[in-house]
Structure 1
Amino acid sequence: MDFQAAKNLVREHHRAIADASAETIAQALERHTADDWHWRGMHPFHEQRGAAAVAKAFWSPYLTAMTRLQRRPDIFMAGLNQIDDFKSVWVVSMGHLMGLFDKPWLGIRPSGKISMMRYVEFNRVEDGRILETAMFFDIPQVMIQAGQNPFPPETGAHLVQPGPATHEGLMYGSQEPDTGQATLRAINAMLQDMGSTDRSRGIEGYAEELARTWNDDMIWWGPAGIGATYTIRRYIRQHSGPFRIALSKGYRFNGHLCRMAEGHFGGFFGWANLTLSNAGGYMGMTASPNPADMRVVDLYREENGKLSENWIFIDILHYLNMQGLDVLARMGELANPSFEG
């Protein structure tokens, strides 16, 4: 299938945003979206309907805070959605939004310096309009860069993350269909194999499981608060092991809304993908009896039939808020202390 019209529409949408100001962004968003455009964003924005609501909730305040905003994409692709039997067309963009952090945003104090916020955007396109968008972005990354880290030390490394090692993620033109199908098979093989090893074998068994679908030099580009990690064994030690120990209680997979691939890249998102309970310690939280949702995006790069890179976006602020910790409210209190009483 030719995805060029859908790709061109989303690129025009991005150009309209780039040319807009905080005052004109609503009109810019209207040009390429449906009247009942369904937009999903991270906490505290959640779900919005229509360009005016999206502009008011997210884009106008963000453009007010970030001077001279640039979109710096590393992956751009389109494909058919496996979840609805390959009927709907989705266009995906991933990279950073870069600006000068000049005014407060969400209670985060401005730095006056460059701010790089990771983003990924899934857009469902039909009849020349964007009907649905899931936009995940890393607000904690903005906090940390501005010197206001709300989290305990990460298990991985906090970085401004680069694009794919192969530098072939910007697929503005058509791609060989067989390559995308092979990438989707690699992603599905990993999902089907997940958790298949006897856990009593410990790290050795887990490493063998991962090696069936991952290359040994894998890179896991995790969100701020968790961090990035490199190679299978360091991934187990610096993320997956602590994650499994702290969050295995009451684990429930809720499914995906979109899963697709093009070229050597692919991925999925859910709303929410996972529901799990914190047994204590994860991201500094005490044990909680309340199950909490994780809204997650995974993007992958395939190489020689296995996965080599994985970019992860998690709505961590929403997950913590469901456990009773409102990180943004705490940021606002720190930014505006009261000395009365």
Structure 2
Amino acid sequence: MHTDKSVIGEKSVDNSESAADAIARAKRLIRHYYAALDKADGPQLADAMVRFCAEDLVWRGFHPFNELTGPRAVADQFWTPLKSALRHMQRRMDLFFAGRNEIDGFQSVWVASMGHLMGLFDRPWLGIPPTRRIAMLRYAAFHKIEGDRIVETAMFFDIPHLMVQAGLHPFPPQTAAHLVQPGPMTHDGLLFDEQPPDEGRRTLAAIDFMLNDVATWKNPDEIALVDELRRSWNEDMIWWGPEGIGATYTLERYAEQHSGPFRAAFRDRRFNGHLCRMAEGRFGGFFGWPNLTLTPTGGFMGMPGSDRPGDMRVIDMYRRDGDKLSENWIFIDLLHFWKQQGLDVLDRMQSLSGR
């Protein structure tokens, strides 16, 4: 019988630990970490992070936070100001899964989650004025676990979406819909328990097929975009895009409202790779730092065209149905991308809001 070790303050010394046990242990660690972090305020935030994270933690977040090192820096620069602004914060998770990372040959164990951080927006954050109303910050996170510590985190969050909730409009009207985005239609995205390994392999295969197929960006004279997408996606697919692009439903509308315009907007597209790509059950995802480098020569998001390349840091989360993908939640660091194009959205929003 497997003996459950403490996930706090004790290194695993069981070299015979099975893959399932390692994943279960990592999930327990992250659930304990979230519980401590969500309960903490002020100085307790740094204590909670130190308890669970390595001293040299690498934390990757959206602009203006970018890459931070060490748990205290993350607590001081990100969590303390955010929790001071979004008071009585709740973590409302929609996805929680874990697995081994395909990118390093399935050696490392990662835990991912996605949902909203909800609170009362009572104080300014990043110059965004408070509303004194409920606000919801979309987030997705990947955590790399070694022993009993989190050694890397990628936590991406939709700051422009929070701006819109505060009555600011950082971008021109988007082609798809602005929504507070729900979790999976099936309401089964919290994989706290062990999942059948074959299901995770099928999900990862579906994600890999889509990536390799889309990577070709086939000549439209050879195959119509909808027909290409149909190879990877179910007809009733939903693409939950970030603020500034929006959400779109059904394969045909996805082609019309995002995929087609996105492909037309860019040239010199370079895929930089992922740092983690994994799946468990019928859910999976990946992130890169950055995933893509693109030149928006055709204009993008209502902005004029440019000959200046820009990086896109992206987290994608997926739900598989059958052998194809049905839902996709996307987090893109658009503030970083547009800053590379010469537009500092945060500075402009602070000027417009008079702060």
Report if TM-score (shorter chain) is over 0.5: yes
2:225, 2:260 within 8 Å by CA — same for their partners in 1? no
Q: CA deviation at 1:319?
A: 0.3
Aligned match of 2:264 in 241, 245, 270? Answer: 245
**2-structure distance, mates of 1:142, 1:105:** 10
Q: What per-residue deviation string (whole Å, max 9, x for no partner) do you get for residues 113-135 of structure 1? A: 11111100000001010000000
Report the equivalent of 1:255: 273
2:264, 2:298 within 8 Å by CA — same for their partners in 1? no
1:81, 1:88 within 8 Å by CA — same for their partners in 2? yes
**2-structure distance, mates of 1:197, 1:121:** 28
Q: TM-score, normalised by structure 2?
A: 0.92
Instruction: Summarize the alignment of residues 146-225 of structure 1 with structure 2, pairs less than 5 Å apart.
Output: 146-196=166-216, 198-201=218-221, 205-225=224-244
**2-structure distance, mates of 1:197, 1:285:** 23
Q: CA deviation at 1:56?
A: 1.7
RMSD of the alignment, in Å? 1.2
Q: Secondary structure at the match of 1:271?
A: coil
**2-structure distance, mates of 1:311, 1:52:** 30
1:22, 1:61 within 8 Å by CA — same for their partners in 2? no
Q: Secondary structure at the match of 1:35?
A: strand
Moved over 2 A (4+): 195-202, 334-337
Aligned match of 1:272 in 258, 269, 290? Answer: 290
State the identity as a percent: 58
Aligned match of 1:50 in 52, 58, 70? Answer: 70
Q: What per-residue deviation string (whole Å, max 9, x for no partner) do you get for residues 42-79 of structure 1? A: 00000001111101221111011111000000000000
Q: CA deviation at 1:198?
A: 4.2
Aligned match of 2:312 in 294, 299, 304? Answer: 294
Q: What per-residue deviation string (whole Å, max 9, x for no partner) do you get for residues 137-196 of structure 1? A: 000110001111111001110101111011110000111001000100111111111154
Q: CA deviation at 1:27?
A: 1.1
Report the equivalent of 2:11: none
**Would you say how many aligned residue pairs link Structure 1 and Structure 2?**
335
Q: TM-score, normalised by structure 1?
A: 0.96
Report the equivalent of 2:60: 40
**2-structure distance, mates of 1:265, 1:271:** 21
Q: Secondary structure at the match of 1:144?
A: helix
Q: Secondary structure at the match of 1:332?
A: helix
**1-structure distance, mates of 2:82, 2:215:** 40
Matching of residue 108 in structure 1 with residue 128 in structure 2: yes
Aligned match of 2:254 in 200, 215, 235? Answer: 235
Aligned match of 2:149 in 124, 129, 132? Answer: 129
Stretches of structure 2 lacking an aligned partner (at least 5 in a row): 1-18
Stretches of structure 1 lacking an aligned partner (at least 5 in a row): none
Q: CA deviation at 1:238?
A: 0.7
Q: CA deviation at 1:200?
A: 3.4
Instruction: Summarize the alignment of residues 289-328 of structure 1 with structure 2, pairs less than 5 Å apart.
Output: 289-328=307-346
Q: CA deviation at 1:225?
A: 0.7
Q: Secondary structure at the match of 2:245?
A: coil
Which amino acid in structure 2 is aligned with residue 87 of structure 1? Answer: Q
